């Protein structure tokens, strides 16, 4: 069946839409748009929409990806125009491209993601100090964080191998931290846990909760990241 | 960063508080003269499932001079954060504080939401009592079914709108706007408003009490204010505005589907049922209207299910042809039809069969009482044969789970009636086995609530059964409904007790509500937040006895706290119905052609409106 890959952003009120609700939101948007959505068979049919990687509730996404299957082929432009006008506030379609039937599932291609965190500082921070803090954080051979599993148990994980890069910027009373982290089904590092580990280490004068966004999701070729198209 | 964005990551289900849903209307605040906040005193998922809110939101936002935004009760985790950060209650569209609005309009769907009304006012930074508010504060108004006994909230609400809101909201906005332009102060505005039909200003009525605590007299404090406030009623359901662009939530809500009202009112005349009395007369939408609205709703919402709502959709005259037409038009695109409730008969099962391709859920029937004698007392026109025919058909059609609703504590109930519940449950179970439903799959759920006498019903004079007795009855049933495949559910008797107090309460209960709010009562409809001990403490502090309210048997000539509010049904009819109940005599539905003489049509100048076209001329109030 014809498959389309969409790139979209999820910001503002939409960044609080949970993963499950997001599926429902796209389904309803698709129906409003008059798109011939394809459904799974069985007792509880659901639309064939799959996302590249779930996004934490509250984090915005600047360039997210999903695959949508239709029952009837139509030009990608037409899918774009129909769906664009039917999305709730905060969900914005950026691009639609057709995907060949044989291309692997979107989720299996995901290898890494880039993130940005932004927060207010209680007092100005010297850029050099910030750079040093990051350098010393990255210089650690191992960075252990605690994760809860579903059963309620706790387990320690070393996230250092999953941190590919990290940088920071301090301007007046604002701090911005960016990072490229391992994503996907194996070795995934959550940006929140990396930030917490960094904060614990560096004790920067951040006076509010970080505003988080995922700025991109990528596949990889060798050591390089590659677009998910 | 905005304060709200600092809080939202810390609370459960933050999408409750963000707004920005599909079809939400955000108007330019500075270009609109009147700002109304519609307040639903329960959590988002419940409030967003309420059709009345969507109707009023649509009507008010259709006016160029007015905007309406939504606000719901924040869940306790959110409330805690809001209080911690001094974030006042805000409306979803503009995120402005509720206290910046001109009007705050509450809907009163059930008595156990009253504590949330007070809590929301407090969170908004609005003084609770009407006497402490001036025109600098929003005007606080309320409507909905509980406004038919508005007295317990008389201290807090400036103005109640009695009856159907879409009929009255335009008048309200007009006079409020005119009052604003003339710079009227609150008192003068309310004096003018109280003259309009269906508008009740409690502060303009004085209540005098006798030595026994009963009411001696209720009347207006000055001339020109009506003695009696009669409900507003929509005459033609086809012509009244109905939103086909409702707000579609981005998070799952209780009724997460298209709610398409096909008729209003129910004249079956069950004697315990308040909705059946206050939403008279029956008015049906024409099939053409239903089909047109359904098509628009599907296009504008993207939902995959159309629920045909009403108090009794199987009674909708053209129900069968409308369902067939809806299925033909929409099933191809994966949009189904559903019915929110079924009558206890095989016709309803046939309807359910037509709409449900997959037998995924259980079917629910409400015989309400266990014996024919008691079903006649409550005028529930259902026989054991009806029930068996219905469940037989359901099992035959492949359903494996049946839910049965009953009430305990009904007037004249004896142990035989409880045994009748057990008997019916077992019979249904046996019918399922006979039909060959696998033992492991067969399930009959018996859900038992406690009878709460409600204002404006034939049982309004009846006391509620003692809490201890209700508990004993629950235990009696629990001990007997133990067969494999039977599931027994029952309601918290403490909640029913408080519901009875407020359903028939008077305005002295305002003091109790205020204490209860101070003691932290909120979300009383949610068992995890209901604390009977806090309520009892509130009564103690207010010097009032809850048992006096719940267990009082009124005489026919007593003045009832809600006697000055008229649902259009005559008191003589209610008395007659009460007497017939105690004699076990049933009364026909006015659909059958024999007018029971409830007196409504002549008083309101309305008549039943059936989409089939046939209608029987109602008699004037002939009850002697």
B250·A211 Cβ contact <8 A? no
The answer to whether residue B533 is domain-embedded is no
**Closest partner CB to B6 (pick from A28, A39, A208):** A208
Task: Decide if B20 touches A, using CB distance below 8 A.
Answer: yes
Q: Cα–Cα distance between B579 and B559 in angstroms, integer?
A: 18
Residue A44: its chain B contacts at CB < 8 A? 360
Task: Decide if A48 touches B, using CB distance below 8 A.
Answer: no
Choice among A33-42, B14-23, B136-145 with the minimum mean pLDDT: A33-42
Give the CATH number for residue A37: 3.30.70.580
**Closest partner CB to B20 (pick from A43, A89, A119):** A89
Q: Is A88 in the same domain as A127?
A: no
Report residue B118 as tokens. 């007070």
Domain endpoint, select from B230, B250, B267: B230
- How far does B402 lie from chain A, in Å, by closest CA? 20
Q: Tell which wins on pLDDT, B381 or B517.
A: B517
Domain endpoint, select from A57, A91, A108: A108
**Chain A: residue nearest B8 by CA?**
A58
**Closest partner CB to B358 (pick from A18, A30, A43):** A43
Angle at alpha carbon of residue B155, lines to B534 and B192, rounded to 5°: 160
- How far does B436 lie from chain A, in Å, by closest CA? 22
- How far does B42 lie from chain A, in Å, by closest CA? 20
The answer to whether residue B333 is domain-embedded is no
A57·B9 Cβ contact <8 A? yes
Where in the sequence is the domain holding B215, given as residue range(s)? 3-230
Domain endpoint, select from B522, B554, B586: B554
Give the CATH number for residue A154: 3.30.70.3190
Task: Decide if B12 touches A, using CB distance below 8 A.
Answer: no
Q: According to the model, what pLDDT value does residue B333 have?
A: 83
Q: According to the model, what pLDDT value does residue B504 have?
A: 97
Q: What is the mean pLDDT of residues B168-178?
A: 97
Q: Kindly state the greatest CA–CA separation across chain B.
A: 74
Q: Is A117 in the same domain as A168?
A: yes
Give exposure, B236-252, as e/b (b: 16+ Cβ within 10 Å).
ebeebebbbbbbbbbbe
Q: Is A132 in the same domain as A35?
A: no
Task: Decide if B301 touches A, using CB distance below 8 A.
Answer: yes
Q: Is A95 in the same domain as A187?
A: no
Give the CATH number for residue B118: 3.40.50.280
**Residue of A16, A36, A119 best to disrupt the B interface, most CBs of B under 10 A:** A16
**Chain B: residue nearest A16 by CA?**
B15
* Measured CA distances, A81 to A6, A48, A87, A96 (Å): 12, 20, 11, 10
**Closest partner CB to B302 (pick from A14, A32, A208):** A32
16-35 of A, contacting B, C-beta below 8 A: 16-18, 20-21, 24-25, 27-32
115-134 of A, contacting B, C-beta below 8 A: 119-120
Number of domains in chain B: 2
Q: Would you give the distance in Å from CA B63 to the centre of its chain?
A: 27
Q: Is A96 in the same domain as A164?
A: no
Secondary element (H or E) of residue B355: helix B346-355
Across the A:B interface, residue pairs with CB atoms under 8 Å apart total: 83
Average pLDDT along chain B? 95
The answer to whether residue B561 is domain-embedded is no
The answer to whether residue B205 is domain-embedded is yes
Task: Decide if B15 touches A, using CB distance below 8 A.
Answer: yes
The answer to whether residue B492 is domain-embedded is yes
Q: Cα–Cα distance between B76 and A195 in angstroms, integer?
A: 29
The answer to whether residue B518 is domain-embedded is no
Task: Decide if A192 touches B, using CB distance below 8 A.
Answer: no
Q: With bands split at pLDDT 50, 70 and 90, how would you rate the model's confidence at B578? A: very high
Domain endpoint, select from A92, A108, A124: A108
The answer to whether residue B110 is domain-embedded is yes
Q: Tell which wins on pLDDT, B290 or B617.
A: B290
Q: What is the mean pLDDT of residues B2-23?
A: 94
The answer to whether residue B496 is domain-embedded is yes
In tens, the pLDDT along A75-115 reads 999 999 999 999 999 999 999 999 998 889 999 999 999 99
Q: Is A115 in the same domain as A221?
A: yes
Q: With bands split at pLDDT 50, 70 and 90, how would you rate the model's confidence at B623? A: very low
Q: With bands split at pLDDT 50, 70 and 90, how would you rate the model's confidence at B347? A: confident
Alpha-carbon torsion angle A20, A23, A26, A29, nearest 10: -70
Q: What is the mean pLDDT of residues B506-529?
A: 97
In tens, the pLDDT along A119-173 reads 999 988 999 999 999 999 999 999 999 998 878 889 999 999 999 999 999 998 9
In tens, the pLDDT along B418-438 reads 999 999 999 999 999 999 999
Which one, of B492, B269, B334, lies nearest residue A47 by Cα? Answer: B334
Q: According to the model, what pLDDT value does residue B620 have?
A: 52
B8·A208 Cβ contact <8 A? no
**Closest partner CB to A16 (pick from B18, B24, B299):** B18
Task: Decide if A211 touches B, using CB distance below 8 A.
Answer: yes
Where in the sequence is the domain holding A184, given as residue range(s)? 110-226
**Closest partner CB to B8 (pick from A16, A21, A39):** A16
Domain endpoint, select from A108, A132, A167: A108
Q: Is A200 in the same domain as A115?
A: yes
Task: Decide if B5 touches A, using CB distance below 8 A.
Answer: yes
Task: Reply yes or no on whether the pLDDT at B622 is more than 50.
Answer: no
**Would you say B445 and B404 are in contact if contact means Cβ atoms under 8 Å apart?**
yes
Q: Is A130 in the same domain as A26?
A: no
B20·A88 Cβ contact <8 A? yes
Considering only CA atoms, give the Rg of chain B. Answer: 24
A90·B20 Cβ contact <8 A? yes
**Chain B: residue nearest A174 by CA?**
B1
Task: Reply yes or no on whether the pLDDT at B465 is more than 90.
Answer: yes
- How far does B188 lie from chain A, in Å, by closest CA? 42
* Percent of chain B clearing pLDDT 70 (strictly above): 97
Q: Is A197 in the same domain as A99?
A: no
Q: With bands split at pLDDT 50, 70 and 90, how would you rate the model's confidence at B619? A: low
Task: Decide if A70 touches B, using CB distance below 8 A.
Answer: no
Task: Decide if B9 touches A, using CB distance below 8 A.
Answer: yes
Domain endpoint, select from B499, B528, B554: B554
**Closest partner CB to A17 (pick from B251, B301, B303):** B251
Choice among A33-47, A158-172, B429-443, B518-532 with the minimum mean pLDDT: A33-47
Q: Is A24 in the same domain as A66?
A: yes
Which class for A74: exposed (0-12), middle (13-18), buried (19 or more C-beta within 10 A)?
middle
Q: Cα–Cα distance between B443 and B484 in angstroms, integer?
A: 8
Q: Tell which wins on pLDDT, A102 or A55.
A: A55
Q: According to the model, what pLDDT value does residue B135 have?
A: 86
Q: Cα–Cα distance between B386 and B364 in angstroms, integer?
A: 14
Beta strand A112-120 pairing with A174-182: antiparallel
Q: Is A217 in the same domain as A123?
A: yes
Q: Is A68 in the same domain as A117?
A: no
**Would you say A225 and A218 are in contact if contact means Cβ atoms under 8 Å apart?**
yes
pTM: 0.95
Q: According to the model, what pLDDT value does residue B92 have?
A: 97
User: What letter does residue A135 receive in the DSSP assignment?
Assistant: H
Number of domains in chain A: 2
């Amino acid at each position: 069946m014809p498959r389309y890959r969409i790139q979209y952003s999820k910001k503002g009120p939409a960044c609080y839409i949970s993963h499950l609700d997001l599926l429902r939101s796209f389904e309803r948007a698709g129906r409003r748009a008059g798109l011939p959505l394809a459904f799974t068979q069985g007792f509880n049919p659901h639309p064939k929409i799959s996302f590249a990687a779930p996004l934490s509730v509250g984090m915005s996404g600047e360039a997210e990806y999903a695959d949508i299957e239709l029952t009837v082929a139509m030009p990608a432009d037409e899918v774009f125009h129909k769906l664009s006008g039917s999305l709730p506030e905060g969900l914005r379609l950026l691009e639609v491209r057709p995907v060949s039937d044989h291309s692997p599932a979107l989720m299996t291609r995901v290898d890494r993601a880039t993130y940005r965190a932004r927060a207010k500082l209680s007092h100005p921070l010297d850029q050099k100090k910030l750079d040093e803090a990051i350098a010393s954080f990255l210089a650690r051979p191992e960075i252990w964080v605690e994760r809860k599993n579903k059963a309620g148990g706790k387990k320690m994980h070393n996230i250092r191998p999953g941190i590919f890069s990290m940088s920071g910027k301090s301007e007046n009373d604002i701090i911005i931290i960016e990072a490229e982290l391992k994503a996907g089904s194996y070795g995934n590092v959550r940006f929140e846990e990396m930030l917490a580990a960094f904060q614990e280490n560096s004790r920067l004068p951040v006076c509010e909760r970080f505003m988080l966004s995922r700025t991109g999701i990528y596949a990889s070729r060798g050591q390089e990241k590659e677009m998910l198209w | 960063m905005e304060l709200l964005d600092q809080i939202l990551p810390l609370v459960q289900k933050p999408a409750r508080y963000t707004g920005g849903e599909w079809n939400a209307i955000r108007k330019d605040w500075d270009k609109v003269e009147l700002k109304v906040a519609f307040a639903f005193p329960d959590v988002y998922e419940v409030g967003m499932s309420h059709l009345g809110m969507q109707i009023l939101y649509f009507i008010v936002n259709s006016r160029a001079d007015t905007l309406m935004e939504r606000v719901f009760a924040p869940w306790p985790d959110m409330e805690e954060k809001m209080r911690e950060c001094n974030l006042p209650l805000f409306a979803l569209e503009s995120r402005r504080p509720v206290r910046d609005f001109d009007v705050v309009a509450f809907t009163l769907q059930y008595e156990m939401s009253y504590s949330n009304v007070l809590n929301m006012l407090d969170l908004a930074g609005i003084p609770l009592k009407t006497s402490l508010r001036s025109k600098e504060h929003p005007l606080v108004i309320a409507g909905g079914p509980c406004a038919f006994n508005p007295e317990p909230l008389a201290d807090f609400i400036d103005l109640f709108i009695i009856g159907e809101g879409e009929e009255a909201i335009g008048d309200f906005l007009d006079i409020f706007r005119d009052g604003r332009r003339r710079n009227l102060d609150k008192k003068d505005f309310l004096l003018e408003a109280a003259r309009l039909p269906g508008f009740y200003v409690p502060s303009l009525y004085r209540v005098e009490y006798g030595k026994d605590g009963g009411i001696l007299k209720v009347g207006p404090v000055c001339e020109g204010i009506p003695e009696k406030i009669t409900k507003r009623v929509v005459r033609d359901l086809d012509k009244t505005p109905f939103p086909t662009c409702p707000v579609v939530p981005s998070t799952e809500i209780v009724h997460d589907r298209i709610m398409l009202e096909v008729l209003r009112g129910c004249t079956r005349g069950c004697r315990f049922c308040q909705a059946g009395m206050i939403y008279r007369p029956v008015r049906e939408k024409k099939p053409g209207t239903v089909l047109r609205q359904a098509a628009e709703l599907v296009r504008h919402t993207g939902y995959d299910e159309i629920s045909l709502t009403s108090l009794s959709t199987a009674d909708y005259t053209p129900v069968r042809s409308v369902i067939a037409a809806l299925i033909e038009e929409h099933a191809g695109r994966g949009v189904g039809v559903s019915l929110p409730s079924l009558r206890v008969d095989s016709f309803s099962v046939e309807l359910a069969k037509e709409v449900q391709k997959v037998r995924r859920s259980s079917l629910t029937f409400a015989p309400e009482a266990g014996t024919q004698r008691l079903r006649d007392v409550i005028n529930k026109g259902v026989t054991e044969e009806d029930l068996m025919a219905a469940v037989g058909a359901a099992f035959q059609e492949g359903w494996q789970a049946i839910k049965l609703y009953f009430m305990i504590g009904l007037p004249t109930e004896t142990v035989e009636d409880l045994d009748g519940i057990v008997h019916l449950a077992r019979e249904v179970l046996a019918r399922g086995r006979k039909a060959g439903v696998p033992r492991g799959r067969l399930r009959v759920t018996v859900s038992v609530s406690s009878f709460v006498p409600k204002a404006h019903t034939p049982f309004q004079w009846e006391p509620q059964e003692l809490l201890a007795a209700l508990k004993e009855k629950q235990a009696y049933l629990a001990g007997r409904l133990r067969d494999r495949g039977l599931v027994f559910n029952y309601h918290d008797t403490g909640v029913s007790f408080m519901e009875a107090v407020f359903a028939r309460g008077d305005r002295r209960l305002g003091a109790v509500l205020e204490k209860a709010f101070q003691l932290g009562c909120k979300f009383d409809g949610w068992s995890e937040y209901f604390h009977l001990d806090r309520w009892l403490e509130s009564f103690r502090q207010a010097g009032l006895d809850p048992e006096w309210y719940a267990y009082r048997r009124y005489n026919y000539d007593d003045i009832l706290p809600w006697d000055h509010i008229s649902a259009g049904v005559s008191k003589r009819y209610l008395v007659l119905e009460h007497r017939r109940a105690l004699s076990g005599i049933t009364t026909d539905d006015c659909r059958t052609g024999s007018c029971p003489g409830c007196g409504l049509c002549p008083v309101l100048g309305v008549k039943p409106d059936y989409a089939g076209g046939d209608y029987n001329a109602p008699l004037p109030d002939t009850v002697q």
